[in-house]
Structure 1
Amino acid sequence: MNVKYRMPSLPLLFGSIVLSFAAAAAGSLVTITGTGSWFMTELIKPEWQPPNYLFGPVWTVLYFLMGIALAFVLAEGMKRRDVQIATVVFLVQLVLNVLWSYLFFGWHLLGAAAAEIVVLWILIAATMWLFYKIRPVAAYLLIPYLAWVTFATYLTVVIWMLN
């Protein structure tokens, strides 16, 4: 079976990446981890936690890949019901991605952040499944995101338990 996929246009690709980074910007408004911050001074964290400087570059790559993945799905046509559903699930998980930053860093609700990130993980997996059915490469682009959120879920739960 020979399947013909559409390539995303440059405006679609650019818009999808901008949307992804808009979510990153919204979450970064409350993500304060520098010297003297609540995160640095008041939380007990596991010794194996990665250094703070690593999170920014990792998330930059992940948001970039998320935007590209969305563009590949959208390129298949927004008139398709499966594309519409996959897009909505993607957008919901993107909102949950931002919400986690507010729960954890903004409002210091560690237990709520731990519960919410589990739901986020489930929605990322659902997004990947829906994306795979439309455009497999879009799902593959989200593998690093799911892997990182898997690690972040464990880290969030451990920090919650330690505090």
Structure 2
Amino acid sequence: MSTLKNIQSTVKLAASIIICQLVGISAVLLSQKNSNYWYDTIVMPSWHLSTYFFGTIWVVLYFLLGISLWLVWDSKISEFNKQNTIILYGTQLFLNFLWSILFFRFHSESIAFLNITVLIVLVFISIIQIYKFSKVATWLLIPYFIWICFEGFLNFKILFLSGYCIE
């Protein structure tokens, strides 16, 4: 019986990581256009990072999200709490996916900013909820939370520099 549980747990771990990585890969593929002309013309703050750095960070963050999701999915908490928490993860992943589409494909910096603001709130709520039953899963979400706060601030700064915000 223990071997079956180990196999099930391993399958859940692999599925959690793959699902999170696929969300990231899909967002990249669906948000790209043939040309980066629009992105190259955006007024960026002096402290913005290279696009290559962003890609590397996201691979690591989706991996950490996958492990955190697995810890929740494989936990001994009630099915109700588990389902609610997994729904929160799914909603976060969707909003994260949507942000890339809104920002990069549709060039809608303002709607993308609203989207990432809601995402930040949901991740914060998730951290509070998950902390009650898995400290490790919570700590795995902290880099993600910090990163989306950074990206939210960058999104806001781009809006400001583009003249969308009142100076």
Q: TM-score by structure 1 length?
A: 0.89
Measured against aligned partners, the alpha-carbon deviations of 1:65-124 in whole angstroms (never above 9, x if no partner) come to 000000000001586211111110110011000000011001111100111100000111
RMSD after superposition: 2.1
1:14 counterpart residue number = 14
Matched residue, 1:65: 64
Percent of residue pairs bearing the same amino acid type: 33
Q: Give distance in 2, aligned partners of 1:34 and 1:152.
A: 24
Q: Secondary structure at the match of 1:60?
A: helix
Aligned residue for 1:84? 83
Distance (Å, rounded) in 1 between the aligned partners of 2:71 and 2:116: 25
Aligned residues: 157
Q: TM-score, normalised by structure 2?
A: 0.87
Shift of 1:135: 1.4
**Counterparts in 2 of 1:78 and 1:135: CA distance versus 1, 3 Å:** closer
Deviations 1:108-160 (A, max 9, x none): 11100111100000111111122212211101101000000111010000111
| Structure 2 gaps, min length 5 | 163-167
| Structure 1: gaps (5+ residues) | 1-5
- How does 1:1-80 map onto structure 2 within 5 Å? 9-32=9-32, 36-40=36-40, 42-77=41-76, 80=79
More helix by proportion, 1 or 2? 2
